[in-house]
Structure 1
């Protein structure tokens, strides 16, 4: 009789941490974009805009990496 597959809990927790980081970045990035767009009076606002776009891209990366890690913890052989 084949042994049932178990979820690797350590890898699952790592994936959930990545998803939590993604959630924080998903709120932080658009908030910084809004702040930088409402006050375009100083050169620092352009830096904040670029930083916020980088944070939004990082949120997307973390989301994909987190989902991939969670699926690996459930379905990966080994």
Structure 2
């Protein structure tokens, strides 16, 4: 009975890359949201607000995907 409980390093690297993308999105989304809400009299208010909300949602999605990938690399058996 040999258990193969080694971490899949390639999958772990992919998960860490996704977490890095999430970190960038976590700063870009709220920053753009703050900038767009401060300048509500400018003509690009609505498009910038939409892009900021999409980036915030993308950060949450990438966080979920990245954590799921890391956990799969650690606990999933081949």
Measured against the shorter chain, the TM-score band is over 0.9
List runs of 5+ in structure 2 lacking aligned partners.
Answer: none
CA distance in structure 2 between the aligned counterparts of 1:56 and 1:41, rounded to whole angstroms? 22
Q: Structure 1 runs of 4+ off > 4 angstroms? A: none
Aligned residue in 1 for 2:18: 18
- Give aligned pairs, total: 78
**Superposition map of 1:1-78 within 5 A:** 1-78=1-78
Aligned Cα root-mean-square deviation (Å): 1.0
Shift of residue 4, structure 1, vs aligned partner: 4.4
List runs of 5+ in structure 1 lacking aligned partners.
Answer: none
Shift of residue 46, structure 1, vs aligned partner: 1.1
